[in-house]
Each structure stands twice: as C-alpha cells, then as structure tokens.
Structure 1
Amino acid sequence: MKIKTILLGAIAGAALAPVAQAERGSDGQVSIIYWQAPSILNPFLSGGTKESESSSLVIEPLARYDQDGNLVPWLVEEIPTVENGGVSEDLTSIAWKITPGLVWSDGTPFTSADVKFTADYCMHPEGGCAQLTKFEGVTSVETPDEQTVKVTFEKPTPFPYGPFVGAESPIIQAAQFADCLGARAPECTEQNFNPIGTGPFVVDEFKPNDVITMSANPNYRDPDKPAFAKVLFKGGGDATAAGRAVMETGEFDYAWNLQLAPDVIAQMQEGGKGTPVAGFGPLVERIMLNQTDASPDLPEGERSTAKHPHPFLKDPAVYKALSMAIDRPLLVEIGYGQAGKVTCNWVPAPAAVNSDTFTCDTQDIEGAKAMLEEAGYTDTNGDGIRETPDGEPMKLVYQTSTNAVRQDFQALIKEWWREIGVDSELRNINASVFFGGDPGSPDTFQKFYADVEMYANTFNGTDPQSYLGNGLCDKAPRPETQWQGENISRFCNEEFDALHAELTKTAGAEARAEIAKRLNDIMVENGGMIPLVHRGRLSAHANTLGGVILNVWDSELWNAADWYRKEGS
C-alpha cells in the first residue's frame, strides 16, 4: 500500500495529529456487513437506519454531526449563524454557501439548484417523504446564485438546521431525479438504486435486500481519498453471523448494530480478528402502541385514521399496566449488559433533554393487575385472559423484526403480560422487510398491521426538534403518503402539536430542553409508546481497519472516506 503522512485538522477544534493516509484506491476492498439489508439507496423513501447509512457512502448533506455531536460543514464553507450573517437577525431564514468546485460523481457541477430540487422533491404535495419533518415550517428555498441556498421559514426558527443536515437529509441530483417528483418517486427504480452523489463511493450494482458493490468516486473532492478502491456492502443474515464475520473469521471489516447479549460479544472478541466499539446516543428500544384498530377486516388505509380507535390500547389504565408489568432491568441484563440502560423516555439523550418525570425501573405485576381490575378489565370466563368492559378479550398481536435479542424480549414480555391477564400473539418479520419501507408490503413497521410493535429508533445530531416532530398528527403514514411518515402509532394530541410549534420558535438551549422534555412526557403519558432500553450503539471493526471513529449522532459510516488498511496488515 502507498502511504504518506499528513496532518489532519480534527473537527470542532481537536488537536492536529499525524495520520497514515493511503492514496485513493490503493487499499483494495473494504467489506461491510449490515445484517438488516438495505432495500433502497434513498433515505427520503425509507425511515430505516440501514437505508440512510448505506446511502451515506454515496449521497451527502450540506452539514452533519461529528462524533461529539458538533454540527460541522460538509459540502459548505461554514455553518451559518447569526454571528457570521448566515442566519437572519429575525431567525426566519438561513443561507448556506456551497464549497466552490464541488462536482457530482458524473463530473457535473454540484450547485444550489440541486439543493433546491431536493427540498422540492421531499416537500412535494403528492409525494411521500420519510424525512418530511426535516422541512417543517419551510416556506421557500431560493437560489440567489449557484453557490448560495436560502431557506425561509414561516416564522422565527431558532434551530434552522433541519433541511439538508445529517445522513437522513442528503442532497440528490436534480438532473437524475427530475422525473421522480410526487407520486412517481417510488417508481424510479434506477435512480433509487443507483443515485449519483458527491460521497466517496459510487454504486456499481445494487441488489435489494442483498449486496451492494461500490467503487471509489473518481471525482471525489479530496484527490487522495477514499483509500479503498472497492466496497462490498453485504446485507441480511443476523447479528450473530455479522459479529463473527468481523471478530472471529475476519471475513468482513465492519459490522453494524450488533444487537447481541454481552457474553456473546465477549466470546466473539476472543477470536482476535476484530474490536467492538460502542457509544451512547439517543437510540431507544421501545414498544409502539397502535392508537387505531389493527383489524385486517378494515379497508386498506382505514387503520391509519382516527375513525377506528383501538378498542383498548388508548385507555391509560391499559398502557400503564402493560408498562408496569415489564422488568426493564432484566431486559437490559440479558439483552445489552453495559451497552444498555433502563429508560422511561422517548428521548434519553443528550442529557439536557432527558426527562425525570417517570420511574419505571421496578416491575409491579400486582399493581398492574389492580389497575386493570379497577378500570373494569376482568376475566369473566376464567380462561386467564381479561375482557374489556365491552366484552372483547384483551389479545394483542405483538410484532418486531427477526433478531435473537428481540425474540427473547418478546417471550419475556408475553409471559409478563399473560400474568396480568393480557394475551399476545408473537410475530417476527425479516428486518430487511420490516424496515424496508416498501409501500406495497403489508409487513413494514410503517404499515403497523398489529396492535403493538417493538424496534429501536434514533435521530441525527443533538437537537431533537425534528425527531419530536414525528409525533405530530399529520406525520402518520397513510396511503396518500405512500405509507411514509414516522408517527408510527398514529398518535394525535392537540397539546403536543401546539407545544411542538412553540419549540420551533423558541431560542435558548435551556428553554428548548424544557419544551423537549414536556413533549417526551406527553407522548409517554398518553400511550404513544412504552420505552424500554436506552441502547448504546455497538458495532465492530477489523483490527486491520484504520480510521474508524464511531459516531452515534449521524451515520456510522460518516467518515468512510478516511478509512484505510493498516500498514503491514
């Protein structure tokens, strides 16, 4: 391998340090395994982390978050602020200055027109954009010149860094996606599978739910990067096989999201081929509670409206009893060990927004029984299952993705719920399908054709405004949005919507944090979800892979352009 020593200026003011850096393409192939396989390379058409992360190797945002949660420029010269004149004094607009000379991987200029087009694409009234909350309050996106993008908001917006920031809001090429606006977006297979980008790699071949092969972008802005000529991105399988492939057999260089018991991770590490890396961001394993009737007898689309409320999950006595019956410390112990913490909150990080309103670290089976009994949920026929006051048996369809830890959680929670008189039918779905976002599939987490479902979610950066916006009434997935949207429970609360609107115009970190905590509390208090575990991100990289910096605030692959094969390996 050809090596040269350069000085890299660390992001956000860290010290300069000499780093061994390979020349472009000199290190052969890097092999990455995500056991949840990407189904598309367009994060605007999927809310899945696997899609935003895999596509981040190809398409990029104007700015993103570094490993410490700092907002850093990526395709722009600097982060706009009031102080540098990039954000207007009245906080109603932000102007981004694109770095001169940037080109797409096809060699054509990257301009403000591409940025504006991306906004038009996501905000199209006839489309379904999974990241629409990033554009909440945007009234216009203008292009004063080829290097300037001006975003105007309907009211003062103290945190204007939603659009075009982070792996979930990258820029797509206007020329490539010109015929993919609105309802046509999911039909553009070539564009969605092979996006032209500004990132370090270009797509050679994309096989949905299987394998992606990529090559070094010949027009990448740094002539010495990426070090790797090829990327093999393997999807599918399970977390156990992924962990072994890096830490035991050395077949792969990077394995994402090793949702495995701590003793399993320790055993794998003894293989000597790889190293686990972990860090805590805002990732939370939770149970989403369907606010609507999940009956398959309802017409397509009816389950996503308030016309048919769930027969008992909207009752506080029920969702509080379900939560009280869960032994969260045991879930942490068997599922995550040091990589997990008990949480009662939707947003447990950063620490400033972690609410202390609730306690949930002690299981209370008897208290849950008493709460249901008092609310009129009794077992009238002696079969061990309570009935609602209307006589309907309390039976739930409980679904999640296929994963050993999640199936262990399902089995335990089913047993605990059975103890309080609530029955559960367990269902697990292949993760590539469950998180895939295919509008034609009945098995996606967005469709939510079940009573409760369990998964984990997180957000880019340290400000939760856009993420909390996923609880707004109008963000529920439905047929007219091609089932995109992140309000998975179909939660709808007027106080929540009004308070979120207040957050969008509130300045000051402390004031924003207080509103964020109250929004968290409204969601949990009103049964939108049952938080379970604050999860650390746990992945692994080969001992021969250099340059890896785990980032829990953005895509884990955020600095793949800096990865290299260690000398002598």
Structure 2
Amino acid sequence: MKLKTLMLGAAAASVLAPAVQAERGEDGNVNIIYWQAPSIMTPYLSGGTKDIEAASLVLEPLGRYDETGALVPYLAAEIPTVENGGVSEDLTQITWKLKEGLLWSDGSPVTSADVKFTADYCMAPEGGCAQFAKFTGVESIETPDDLTVVVNFDKPMPNPYGPFMGGQSPILQKAQFEDCVGAAASTCTEANFNPIGTGPFVVDEFKPNDVISLSANPNYRDPEKPAFATVTFKGGGDAEAAARAVLQTGEYDYAWNLQLAPDVLASMAEGGEGTPVSAFGTLVERIEMNLTDPSPDLPEGERSTVAHPHPILSDEKVRRALSMAIDRELLVEVGYGQAGRATCNLVPAPELYASDNTECLTQDLEGAKALLEEAGWTDTDGDGVREKDGEKLSLLYQTSTNAVRQDFQALIKDWWRQIGVETELRNVDSSVFFGGDPGSPDTFQKFYADVEMYANNFDGTDPQSYLSMYRCGNEPKPSSQWQGENINRFCNEEYDAMLDELAKTGELEKRGEIAKKLNDMLTKESMTIVPLVDRGRVSAHSNTLGGVVLNTWDSELWNAADWYRIDE
C-alpha cells in the first residue's frame, strides 16, 4: 500500500456513520494506545500533547474546533460572534451562554462559576499554568447568572476565542479544584489524576506513565452516548509497537502519532487489521535553541534561567550556522515521505498566516563554516572541533525516544560535525520528556540541554495564542513550577510590541502580515527556533472502529463520544 493511499484515510473515516446510534455502553470496551504515556489529566499543568488529549476524554471546553478548523459549540449553546451579539462591536467583550441542564460527572450542575474559576485558576500567580497564553488580555470575568459568562478584555480582541476554546482550555469544576490554586496546583494529586468532568468518560484509575481506565460518564448530556462502556488507555512503548498493535495484531483500536518511516507504516498497513489516517495542520518538528545556560555547574534553580545567558548560543551567527547545515528535504525523505514537508516556519498554516520564508530549505555547509569563522570559532588544534576563548563548540542535543527522532539526531549530528561542531546526543523517554514534572531534570520545559527537538501545534486556525508563547516572562522557571511556554527563553521587546499590535488588529489580511513577521522574527531573523518538518499527523484505527474523524486543529480524541463498534 502506498502512503499516498494512506493519506486518504481521514476523509474515508468521516463517512462511516452508523445506521443507528448504539445505546450508551452497548459496544463494550475500546482500546487506545499512545506511545507517549500521559502523566497527568489536566492540560493546565502540562503542555504535552499526550496529556492534553488524554484529558480531553474527561474535560471539555465551551467550544471546539472541528476537523475543518471551524468553531463548534460543546458546553456552550452557541459560538458567540459579533453577528449574534455574543461579541461586542468594540471587540472588548465576549459573552458565553452555557447549555441548560449540564451536569458534572458527579451529578452536580455546571455553572458559570466553574468557568470563571477556570480562568482564575490558570491566571493565578505562582500556578505555573501551561496554557497561560490562552488568557492573554483577560481583564475580568463576570457571571450575571448561572448560565452566563462575560469575559472582558483590556483591549479589543479580534480573536476572542483564546479562553475556554479547544482541548487546551477546558473547564474545571470549582468544587474539586478550589483548594488547588497558585502554588498548590501541582500538589493536588487526586484532582490532577482524577478530574471530575463533563466529557463522555470518567477516570476510574489513573496510573501515571502507564495506563488509564475509564468508563462511560453516567451524566453525559447525550443519553445515547458514548457507545463504549469502558476505555483502556495504554501509554508507553514506541510508535512502531503502537502501529503494529492496531494495523497488524488488532490488539488496540486506536493508535496516536505514528511517527514512523513511510515504508514501515505502509508495510504494516498490509496487515489488514486497521487503517492509517493522516491530515496536515500546524504540527512542526523543530529544534529549539536554549538562550540560557543549562550548565550543571550552576546552582539548581539557576540553570536554564534568564539570569545566565548561554555562552555559545547567545550568538545569532552560531544559531544560524547550525540551521544552515541541515538538509531538511533529506529529513523529510527519511522520516515522513509524503506525510511531511520541509519548512522554515513555526506557523506553516493556514495560508493566511504562513510566511513565504524558504531560505532555510537549501543546505549550505560552506556558508555555515564561514559564518562560524566570522563569529570567531576556529579549529586551531586540528581535532575537527572549533573553539573560541578556550571553549569547545560542543552541544548537548536532546529529544524524546523515538526511531524517527533518533534518525534525525544522527543525521544532524553528522552535518554539525562537518562544520566543526561536537554534538552529544541524549534521548529521554517521551512520558518523562513531555510530562511536566517540576521535580524531573529531563522535561522539555526545564531544558537542561543546549538544543532540543520536538513538535507541537495550536488549537484552531488563528496563531495569536501560539505566537504569544514566546513573550518575555513566559519562560519556564522555578517560580512557575517550571511551567511556561517560552521554551527557548526568547525575549524581545519589539516582538512583544508586535504581539500587542496583533491582539488589537481585526482586519484579517493585516493579522496575517503581523503573524508572518512574528514567525520570521523567531525563525528567520533570530533563529531561536529552527523549523525542520511540517508534519502530517498520522494515526491509525482498527477496521472495526467507526466514527473516527482525524482532527489536526484540536484534540485527536475530540469526538470520542461518537465512536462506535462496527460489526464484522
């Protein structure tokens, strides 16, 4: 089977609608496998995709983005707009109306107080909220009645859908989390592992970095859903084993993020037990350059903090040379085939926001060498490694454990060797790397390395919140429990001013122009982020699992309530 054929799977899946909706729980158990194991069940304390998506089975936002990127109501009765009066004409206020009769899984009513509390929780000082950028510009929240939430912004917000939209910003139950605000957030293990939600399932048992057992929510708003009585959500292993478990052995029904070489995936698909599905969105594999010093010689609490600039990578010429040495087209060929596209952009889509920056697509080893020479890095002793002021040009390059990522590491290490850079490779179990544990030295947020590679994306089609991650002060640090979205510790006043300009610009073409400039500041001008591959999201489902609609704009599990078993 050719990978091009596999890419059609998502569209095909969307037409597999059941003739008659099953009764709640009628279809027994569904098995899901994520080779990156969830470590927590709230997106507010982890920026890891696997945690956000696992939590989406239980916690829901007011609205989601569907598979086309369109906004659709979930807990809200409708999506507020200027046209329906839900967004004020001056764009400084958005009013949400909850659906009537909504219940938490414990049977208590969902009210506007829960929504307001969610914002207070994320915006609390010292809370380390991983989704803080979602609440940019929120000045106050009013709750005139139990079903009405009024969000007031401190300036016009042309895109007022940051708070409470998408899988990254769901609603928390106030009664469960009200003692978990601020510095106490990470200490509330019971709430963080077993949140009370409004989604189709509830947590029965959560084993961090292993398995989650869930069952149908008895108070879910649709009495006919979900069709499955229970969910077994297995975490860990690797992408190859996860793919095999769906495509060849049929042990699992759904496997996420099959980051495999295209020939490997195509071969597995011949097993006949499942179907790969894929779609492009905004998922970019990239290298982040640490602008702070991660040296273990620094005291704990000072490593990778803005108090200590990086001794090598603070030089833009070095960062640029590292990028120039990379052959992105070869990375695509080796790692993704037709499920990947070489890119120079952090924001590759939608087209309105995608820069025409293509400069990085041509590998230039000689140019990279010349740039390092210009920056004063020379190989004076002939050992193949450049040095300057007695310091070797030596870098620690980390990522999560995954076959494709380790292939990328090996190739990039060799290209960097050719320009005189010594590279030590480290790979960390994905459950730890993306887990967000403030006590672990190996998380991508803590960034105790010189460069690191991973991928993430943003909910919906507007990149404002995503680009806001790199605002000054939003870096992970001890005072935020090492949570924060500015992973490389970038800080630029001009960038922040442009973010403010984007936040008050309503005209779409102008928003696109500003977003492109912001993208270019990160990836073309400063080279603090080195994009590699615009990745198509590739997952797989068993041939007996219906209702799957792959969604690259929200959680992949966004419509798990609609899944059902196909009779063979």
TM (norm. structure 2) is: 0.96
> Are 1:230 and 2:243 counterparts?
no
Q: Which residues of structure 1 form unaligned runs of 5+? A: 1-13
Confirm or deny: 8 A CA contact 1:114 1:172 kept in the other structure: yes
Confirm or deny: 8 A CA contact 1:282 1:347 kept in the other structure: yes
Corresponding residue for residue 52 of structure 1: 52
2:447 and 2:18 map into 1 onto residues whose CA distance is 50
Provide, for residues 365-423 of structure 1, a one-character-per-residue CA deviation record: whole Å limited to 9, x for no partner.
Answer: 111111111222111111110012x2311000000000000001001100000000001
Corresponding residue for residue 497 of structure 1: 496
RMSD after superposition: 1.3
Residue 425 to residue 18, structure 1, CA distance change in 2 (3 Å): closer
Residues 255-270 of structure 1 correspond to what in structure 2 (within 5 A)? 255-270=255-270
Residues 19-418 of structure 1 correspond to what in structure 2 (within 5 A)? 19-388=19-388, 390-418=389-417
Shift of 1:18: 7.1
Shift of 1:282: 0.4
Corresponding residue for residue 529 of structure 2: 529
Shift of 1:537: 0.3
- Tell me, what secondary structure is at the counterpart of 1:373? helix
Q: Which is worse superposed, 312-321 or 461-470?
A: 312-321
Shift of 1:357: 2.8
Confirm or deny: 8 A CA contact 2:287 2:452 kept in the other structure: yes
Shift of 1:564: 0.2
Confirm or deny: 8 A CA contact 1:134 1:162 kept in the other structure: yes
Provide, for residues 110-137 of structure 1, a one-character-per-residue CA deviation record: whole Å limited to 9, x for no partner.
Answer: 0000001101110111311000000011
Q: Which residues of structure 2 form unaligned runs of 5+? A: 1-13
2:536 and 2:146 map into 1 onto residues whose CA distance is 41
TM (norm. structure 1) is: 0.96
1:255 and 1:416 map into 2 onto residues whose CA distance is 33
2:85 and 2:15 map into 1 onto residues whose CA distance is 28
1:129 and 1:19 map into 2 onto residues whose CA distance is 43
Confirm or deny: 8 A CA contact 1:118 1:174 kept in the other structure: yes
2:401 and 2:326 map into 1 onto residues whose CA distance is 21
1:75 and 1:419 map into 2 onto residues whose CA distance is 55
Confirm or deny: 8 A CA contact 1:354 1:517 kept in the other structure: yes
Residue 179 to residue 506, structure 1, CA distance change in 2 (3 Å): same
1:415 and 1:17 map into 2 onto residues whose CA distance is 49
- Tell me, what secondary structure is at the counterpart of 1:204? strand
Q: Which amino acid aligns with 2:77?
A: E
Confirm or deny: 8 A CA contact 2:16 2:546 kept in the other structure: no
Shift of 1:231: 0.1
Corresponding residue for residue 3 of structure 1: none
Corresponding residue for residue 8 of structure 2: none
1:125 and 1:404 map into 2 onto residues whose CA distance is 39
Confirm or deny: 8 A CA contact 1:87 1:93 kept in the other structure: yes
Shift of 1:17: 7.6
Q: Which amino acid aligns with 1:552?
A: T
Residue 94 to residue 15, structure 1, CA distance change in 2 (3 Å): farther
Q: Which amino acid aligns with 1:39?
A: S
Shift of 1:16: 13
1:17 and 1:536 map into 2 onto residues whose CA distance is 24
Shift of 1:19: 4.0
2:316 and 2:477 map into 1 onto residues whose CA distance is 25
Provide, for residues 510-537 of structure 1, a one-character-per-residue CA deviation record: whole Å limited to 9, x for no partner.
Answer: 1111111000000112122110000000
Residues 458-497 of structure 1 correspond to what in structure 2 (within 5 A)? 458-497=457-496
1:54 and 1:197 map into 2 onto residues whose CA distance is 12
After TM superposition, where is structure 1 displaced by more than 3 Å over at least 4 residues in a row? 14-20
- Tell me, what secondary structure is at the counterpart of 1:370? helix
Provide, for residues 341-383 of structure 1, a one-character-per-residue CA deviation record: whole Å limited to 9, x for no partner.
Answer: 0000111011111101342222111111111112221111111
Q: Which amino acid aligns with 2:481?
A: Q
Q: Which amino acid aligns with 2:71?
A: L
Confirm or deny: 8 A CA contact 1:314 1:527 kept in the other structure: no
Q: Which is worse superposed, 308-317 or 33-42?
A: 308-317
Identical counterparts, % of pairs: 72
2:77 and 2:460 map into 1 onto residues whose CA distance is 19
